[in-house]
């Protein structure tokens, strides 16, 4: 039996839903996989160390790993209306407060190489005079409790938090996705699937086909992945799981397309111009494997 490829992705419903068929051997032509489930901040670090053949990482981390990894044209997370939110306690940042309230405040973020934090930095540079205060990195599921309990002044949240933050008595101060879409007209690039360049063109092509086929299998057989999704959903309510999948697994997951690639180039270009990430060389995002 051929040696299985290693993959690391998050426990979030969009990833377990999209990759269920592939990781469970339901795609006869797909390469075998050995799976590691880990928080996105962990997978970002693994990519920088060359720690797996395939990984789900933040688009903000992509410029740091392109020498060793190539962006797959499928499997990731982009979309509309799905951006990170800046949350405060209602009594601290009541309705009507502007972004200037964040000046000098202590803000929790889900990782310094997260796309959420990159979008936040691009926004805060013009929206928060004087800049925010201390940045605290927390796993994303710990951010809302930390804001609620007053451990931080504000939190930058991702994933299903956009459906549940009211349960913590929190107030939405700003939506990074709305800011991005209003300024660019493009979808919000959040998470990317990357594969080791050393796999070679033929195997990279097989990997890309498998990722896209896995997404399409999940759409065609939505109940097949339910036990696996629930196993890793961190006690998430079923309705929230469905909302999460519906928002983050979309046409861009099956195929980035021209619009998706343009959004990625726009994000990384703007960030590089501000000195926030290394510049991406022309052609670095091109996928070498024929699909």
Structure tokens at 64: 């740091």
Instruction: Give the tens place of pLDDT for each residue, 171-200.
Output: 999 999 999 999 999 999 999 999 999 999
Instruction: Give the tens place of pLDDT for each residue, 237-284.
Output: 888 899 999 999 999 999 999 999 999 999 999 999 999 999 999 899
Check residue 40 and give its pLDDT.
87
Do 207 and 136 touch, CB atoms closer than 8 A? no
SS3 56: strand
Percent of the chain with pLDDT over 70: 96
pLDDT exceeds 60 at position 95: no
Check residue 3 and give its pLDDT.
75
Catalytic position from the list 9, 80, 141, 159:
159
pLDDT exceeds 70 at position 65: yes
Is 159 an active-site residue? yes
Check residue 211 and give its pLDDT.
97
Looking at every residue in the chain, the average pLDDT score rounds to 92
pLDDT exceeds 70 at position 235: no
Query: What is the band of 93 on the pLDDT scale with cuts at 50, 70, 90?
Result: low
pLDDT exceeds 70 at position 92: no
Half-sphere exposure of residue 43: CA atoms within 13 angstroms, side-chain side: 30
Check residue 119 and give its pLDDT.
97
Distance (Å, whole) CA 116 – CA 232: 22
Report the pLDDT averaged over residues 219-230: 96
Check residue 140 and give its pLDDT.
84
pLDDT exceeds 50 at position 291: no
Contacts of 260 (CB under 8 A, 6+ apart): 78, 187, 189, 252
Distance (Å, whole) CA 79 – CA 76: 10
Query: What is the band of 289 on the pLDDT scale with cuts at 50, 70, 90?
Result: low
Higher model confidence: residue 291 or residue 5? Answer: 5
Contacts of 197 (CB under 8 A, 6+ apart): 68, 69, 70, 204, 288
pLDDT exceeds 80 at position 234: no
Higher model confidence: residue 18 or residue 234? Answer: 18
- 158 known member of a binding site: no
For residue 156, list its beta bridge partners: 86
pTM over 0.85: yes
- 116 known member of a binding site: yes
pLDDT exceeds 90 at position 23: yes
Report the pLDDT averaged over residues 72-80: 95
Structure tokens at 107: 């803000």
Structure tokens at 112: 């310094």
Report the pLDDT averaged over residues 133-159: 93
- 30 known member of a binding site: no
SS3 179: helix
Eight-state DSSP code of residue 68? T
Check residue 290 and give its pLDDT.
42
Contacts of 3 (CB under 8 A, 6+ apart): 32
Contacts of 266 (CB under 8 A, 6+ apart): 184, 186
Do 65 and 100 touch, CB atoms closer than 8 A? no
Closest Cα partner for 207 from 136, 149, 152, 288? 288
pLDDT exceeds 90 at position 236: no
Distance (Å, whole) CA 291 – CA 287: 9
Q: Where do the H-state alpha helices sit in 172-236? A: 176-184, 201-220, 226-231
Structure tokens at 258: 């021209």
């Amino acid at each position: 039996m051929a040696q299985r490829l290693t993959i690391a992705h998050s426990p979030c419903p969009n990833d377990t839903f999209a990759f269920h068929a592939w990781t469970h051997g339901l795609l006869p032509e797909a390469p075998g996989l050995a799976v590691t489930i880990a928080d996105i901040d962990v997978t970002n670090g693994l990519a920088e160390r060359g720690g797996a053949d395939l990984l789900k990482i933040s688009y903000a981390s992509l410029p740091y790993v392109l020498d060793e990894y190539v962006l797959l044209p499928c499997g990731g997370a982009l979309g509309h209306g799905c951006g990170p939110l800046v949350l405060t306690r209602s009594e601290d940042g009541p309705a009507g407060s502007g972004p200037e309230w964040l000046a000098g405040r202590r803000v929790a973020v889900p990782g310094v190489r997260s796309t959420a934090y990159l979008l936040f930095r691009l926004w805060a540079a013009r929206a928060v005079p004087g800049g925010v205060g201390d940045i605290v990195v927390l796993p994303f599921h710990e951010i809302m409790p930390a804001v609620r309990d007053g451990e931080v002044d504000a939190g930058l949240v991702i994933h299903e938090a956009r459906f549940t933050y009211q349960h913590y008595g929190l107030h939405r101060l700003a939506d990074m996705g709305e800011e991005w879409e209003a300024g660019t007209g493009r979808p919000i690039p959040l998470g990317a699937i990357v594969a080791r360049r050393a796999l070679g063109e033929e195997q990279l092509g097989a990997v890309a086909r498998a990722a896209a086929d896995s997404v399409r299998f999940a759409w065609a057989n939505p109940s097949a992945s339910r036990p696996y999704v629930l196993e890793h959903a961190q006690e998430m309510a079923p309705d929230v799981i469905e909302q999460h999948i519906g928002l983050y697994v979309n046409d861009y997951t099956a195929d980035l397309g021209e619009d998706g690639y343009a959004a990625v180039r726009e994000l990384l270009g703007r960030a590089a111009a501000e000195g926030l990430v290394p510049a991406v060389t022309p052609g670095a995002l091109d996928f070498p494997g024929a699909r």
